[in-house]
Structure 1
Amino acid sequence: MKIFGAMYDKTMAWSKHRFATYWLSFLSFIEAIFFPIPPDIMLIPMAMSKPKSAVKFALITAIASVLGGMIGYSIGYYAFDLVQEYIVKFGYQAHWDKAISWFEQWGVLVVFVAGFSPIPYKVFTIAAGVMQMAFLPFVATAFISRAARFLLLARLAAWGGEKFAAKLRRSIEVIGWSVVLLAIIAYLILR
């Protein structure tokens, strides 16, 4: 069953669309608040298809992500009672507990680590607000972390360029099904 090739082709087409930068910004913004899909899925193909703009795309992604993170922080600070049930409903409770314990242990450094962590970034933005972390250090640390992550991804994707995109397309079914299999195994082990 070949489904990943069609998704890959669609994503590559979106990455070349004239509104791709706006979609990238929007995706980065909402991912830091509630959306489950990270902006990497747009950033990487955009950087591969337009390598000279990779740094610009990374900075746009970082800025939008930090702006979204500021909204997530505000939700945690002012309205956590309204969203607390969704943490459990969408399966983020274990991530939430880990983030809170990290905040208690390391404070602002957790926001830096969050930029590279497999734990969804939105968990950290809301947790920072709940923990009433100082706002300006939160914003500064979030920007440094997110910019570093997205610059790294964009530069690697740009380095590979169109040649890498073509090679990736030839192997996308194997990669896609391998990721699904690993996710199932991880779920069975960690539950």
Structure 2
Amino acid sequence: MPIRKTLKQKTHQFIYSKHMLSGITIASFFESIIVPIPLEAVLVPLMQARRDRLWVIALMATVGCILGALCGYGVGYYLFDAFGDWLINTFSNPEQFSNVQQKMLDQGFWFVITVGIVPIPFQIAMLAAGATKYSLMLFLIASAIARSIRYFGLAIVVYCTGNQAEYLIKKNKVKAMIFLTTLALCLWGLSLLL
């Protein structure tokens, strides 16, 4: 019981700390480059507790992710030749990565948006974008759009449903992912026709 009470106190201190926003930015950075745990598990309760900072929390999570995406792109761009095999085996497999590289070359912008929204490791898109020397500006714009949809979407849910947000997100997570994936794929398909 003392551990639970201590954890609860530390969480409460963090929520109202002056370091809360920088902590979210750092957590988002690490989530986008190495940590396979979705940031949503922390963001939704934090957004519910700090509705007065709701939009800023979503913004800082987006900024952290974009910084992480820039770092991942840099690794793919500059270090892929030296560490590519290890990176592929850590985050993917050679066949999957080859497919991702081809998709980057064929539909880079829409591919990054799709991977940034759906629950596929974003690290794959970052490395492929860097390794294929895809336009850094287009990569960052696509990353910003995708992650803004994801994090500001959470903020909208919290804004509209308040303390019910966490329950509603857990209950409808599969439906939401199917909807977002379908939407991203439709936009991607539409872009191929234009």
TM-score, normalised by the number of residues in structure 1? 0.72
Residue in structure 2 matched with residue 53 of structure 1 by the alignment: 53
Q: Residue 28 of structure 1 contacts residue 38 of structure 1 at CA under 8 Å; is this kept in 2?
A: no
Once the two structures are TM-superposed, the CA of residue 80 in structure 1 deviates from its matched residue by 1.1
Residue in structure 1 matched with residue 134 of structure 2 by the alignment: 133
Q: Looking at both structures, which has the greater relative contact order when contacts are Cα pairs under 8 Å and sequence separation is at least 6? A: 1
Q: Residue 105 of structure 2 contacts residue 134 of structure 2 at CA under 8 Å; is this kept in 1?
A: no
Q: Residue 45 of structure 1 contacts residue 157 of structure 1 at CA under 8 Å; is this kept in 2?
A: no
Once the two structures are TM-superposed, the CA of residue 136 in structure 1 deviates from its matched residue by 1.0
Describe the SS at the equivalent of 2:117: coil
Give the distance between the partners of 1:11 and 1:104, measured in 2 at CA: 46
Residue in structure 2 matched with residue 27 of structure 1 by the alignment: 27
Once the two structures are TM-superposed, the CA of residue 135 in structure 1 deviates from its matched residue by 1.0
Give the distance between the partners of 1:164 and 1:150, measured in 2 at CA: 13
Give the distance between the partners of 2:13 and 2:123, measured in 1 at CA: 24
* Structure 1 stretch displaced more, 15-24 or 57-66: 15-24
Once the two structures are TM-superposed, the CA of residue 55 in structure 1 deviates from its matched residue by 1.3
Give the distance between the partners of 1:158 and 1:15, measured in 2 at CA: 21
Deviations along 1:76-106, one digit per CA (max 9) or x if unpaired, are 0000134324335435226534422321331
* Structure 1 stretch displaced more, 47-56 or 60-69: 47-56
Indicate the structure with greater helix content.
2
TM-score, normalised by the number of residues in structure 2? 0.71
Give the distance between the partners of 1:114 and 1:27, measured in 2 at CA: 19
Once the two structures are TM-superposed, the CA of residue 30 in structure 1 deviates from its matched residue by 1.7
Once the two structures are TM-superposed, the CA of residue 65 in structure 1 deviates from its matched residue by 0.6
Residue in structure 2 matched with residue 81 of structure 1 by the alignment: 81
Q: CA RMSD for the aligned pairs? A: 3.1
Deviations along 1:26-85, one digit per CA (max 9) or x if unpaired, are 111122222222322222111111223221111111111111111110100000134324
> Which blocks of at least 5 consecutive residues in structure 1 are unaligned?
180-191
Instruction: Tell me which amino acid in the other structure corresponds to 2:151.
Output: F
Describe the SS at the equivalent of 1:108: helix
* Structure 1 stretch displaced more, 91-100 or 145-154: 91-100
Q: 1:96 to 1:48 in 2, by over 3 A?
A: farther
Residue in structure 2 matched with residue 149 of structure 1 by the alignment: 150
Q: 1:37 to 1:62 in 2, by over 3 A?
A: same
Q: Residue 30 of structure 2 contacts residue 68 of structure 2 at CA under 8 Å; is this kept in 1?
A: yes
Residue in structure 2 matched with residue 41 of structure 1 by the alignment: 41
> Which blocks of at least 5 consecutive residues in structure 2 are unaligned?
175-194
Q: Residue 128 of structure 1 contacts residue 138 of structure 1 at CA under 8 Å; is this kept in 2?
A: yes
Give the distance between the partners of 2:27 and 2:68, measured in 1 at CA: 10
Q: 1:13 to 1:92 in 2, by over 3 A?
A: farther
Give the distance between the partners of 2:13 and 2:114, measured in 1 at CA: 30
Q: 1:164 to 1:64 in 2, by over 3 A?
A: closer
Describe the SS at the equivalent of 2:36: coil
